[in-house]
Amino acid sequence: MSPEIKRSPDINKILCCIAMGPNSEWVMLHALHEAGVHNAKVDILHIIPAYDAAMATPIVSFMGEEKFRQLVEEHKEETTEAIKREIEELKDTIIRGHFDESVDRIRKIHVYEGDPELEVLHMADELDVDMIVMGTHSKGLTQYTFMGSVARKVLKRGRVPMLLVPPLTV
């Protein structure tokens, strides 16, 4: 028999994972709502999937490995900054429209490149968050019916409560 739970868990830090798709605003709205309920801070995370080496092989053979690496590095910083600007605009739109009082709830915006599942789990540990909020979008008939593969994997391996936000249907 489980011990009796006498109080709700403390939720002080929330990791909001967004994919910069059509449901990003919906996911961020839920994260900010939870932050308001729990008087918590929110870190926003977007992961740029690492490029597929097999796809790059023809380009590398044409341009050369050194030029290709240089091109990737130059555009990585440019892409990261552009995504951060888009997230800032999205955040400002949401706060103006829904959560004027929560402007100070967002602690930081993080944009990294890598495997989305591993990076979400890594950031959750590194930031010592108490909750993860993410969307459950799927990418077609071959994907899982109710949630995307990243959400499913993070749910399976994560160590903190998760709020999974289904796509907003119009």
CATH number of the domain enclosing 95 = 3.40.50.620
Q: How many domains does the chain have?
A: 1
- Is the residue at 145 inside a domain? yes
SS3 131: strand
pTM, full prediction: 0.77
| Residue 104 covered by a domain | yes
Is residue 23's pLDDT more than 90?
A: no
Domain carrying residue 157:
13-50+84-165
pLDDT tens by residue, 47-62:
988 766 666 677 767 7
pLDDT confidence band for 96 (50 / 70 / 90): confident
Across the range 85-89, mean pLDDT stands at 86
Buried b (16+ CB within 10 A) or exposed e, 74-113: eeeeeebeebeebbeebbeebbeeebeebeebbeebbbee
Average per-residue pLDDT in the chain?
A: 82
